[in-house]
Amino acid sequence: MGTIGIEWVNKYHGRASDLKNNDDNARGFYNTLDGIRQFEYGDDLAWDQDFEQSGAGVPTSGTDQIYADNVDIAFFSGHGSQSGPFFGVATHDDGTARSTEVRLGDRYCNWVVFDACLVLAYDDGAVFDRWGWPAFKGLHYILGFHTTTGDSGDRGRKFAEYLNAGWRVRDAWIRACQDTEGSDVYWAYLRADQSGTDTYNDHWWGKGYVSPDPTAPTSLAYANGPC
């Protein structure tokens, strides 16, 4: 059975405008998906370093080995930008889980969801420079948005319901986005593969095929479309 970790932020202490629904959104995912609930941190206890590799980038305070990379699926809900998911406090690291510091899959993480604006904005191919190769150390997918997105309170629950119902991970994410946004918002994902893997057909654990980990990916597929 798969393991689940979530982090969410509504309170930004003036670093950005506050949000309202990220607790409901992330908890909906956490409490609905069939699996082992391993961690939940919200607001001031949600830290960017929990998604970052120890020793990578600056500051080097990453602790993903006990948080995001210690579960099969990690879900973040809050503000975001091309720089990465944005957190409410910057006292432990710099408050942004930057692509230069995210290295997932060298432990357990197969899928990470950044339910936040613009983290996967295509930007004429710059998404590959940001999230491309170094972030994928066995990670199968980064799921998120090409555009800005709404402050949804139930996308996480719907995503979990579709995973539980046996849809592939990519189909479940797209369906959840279609159910919660208008067509002006674009879902997106970035997916890694290598010889012997088939992450395209990934399902949630216990619901169908799960690919072996692409530990040294030879291709990255980026996709986006209207919700």
Partner 1 sequence: MPNSLFTFPKRLPDVPRDIAMYRTATQAVLSRKAAANADFAHRVKLYSMLFKTSTPVQEFGSFVLFREAEHSLELFRLSHSLRWTHNTLAHRESAPKAALPAEKEVQKLAAKALQDYQIDSANAKFQSIAYSQVVVATAPGGKKAVRNTEAHAIYGFSLDGIPVVGPGAKLRASFVEEGQMSQLLHFWRQPAKGKAVRIKTPQQALERFAQDPRFMRLSAETAVVDIHDIEFNYYALSPSDFQQYLIPVYSVKGTVKTTAFPRYDFTHRIVAVDLSPEQIKGLAAVANPGSCAVF
* Interacting residues with partner 1 (CB under 8 A): 11-21, 79, 81, 86, 90, 95, 117, 122, 125, 128-129, 132-133, 148, 150-151, 153-154, 158, 161, 165, 170-171, 174-175, 178-183, 200, 218-227
Specify the 3-state DSSP secondary structure of 80.
strand
Minimum Å gap between C-beta 103 and partner 1 is 15
Least distance CB 180 / partner 1 (angstroms) = 5
Shortest Å, Cβ 41 to partner 1: 20
Query: Minimum distance from CB of 71 to partner 1 (Å)?
Result: 26
CB closer to partner 1, 5 vs 48: 48
- Between residues 45 and 223, which has the closer beta carbon with respect to partner 1? 223
For partner 1, which is the closer residue by CB, 19 or 71? Answer: 19
Q: Which is nearer to partner 1, 166 or 206 (CB)?
A: 166
Question: Which ranges of the chain does DSSP label H, i.e. alpha helix?
Answer: 22-32, 126-131, 155-164, 169-180
Q: Give the Cα separation of 203 and 198 in Å (integer).
A: 11
Q: Which is nearer to partner 1, 25 or 38 (CB)?
A: 25
Least Å distance, CB 171 to partner 1, is 7
* Under 8 Å between Cβ of 80 and 131: no
E strands within the chain?
3-8, 36-42, 73-77, 79-81, 84-86, 111-115, 141-145, 186-193, 219-226
At which residue do the structure tokens 């995973």 appear? 163
**Cβ closer to partner 1: 5 or 42?**
42
Q: Which residues contact 29 (CB under 8 A, 6 or more apart)?
A: 4, 6, 75, 113, 156, 157, 159, 160
Contacts of 41 (CB under 8 A, 6+ apart): 6, 7, 8, 47, 50, 67
| Least distance (Å) between residue 15 CB and partner 1 | 4
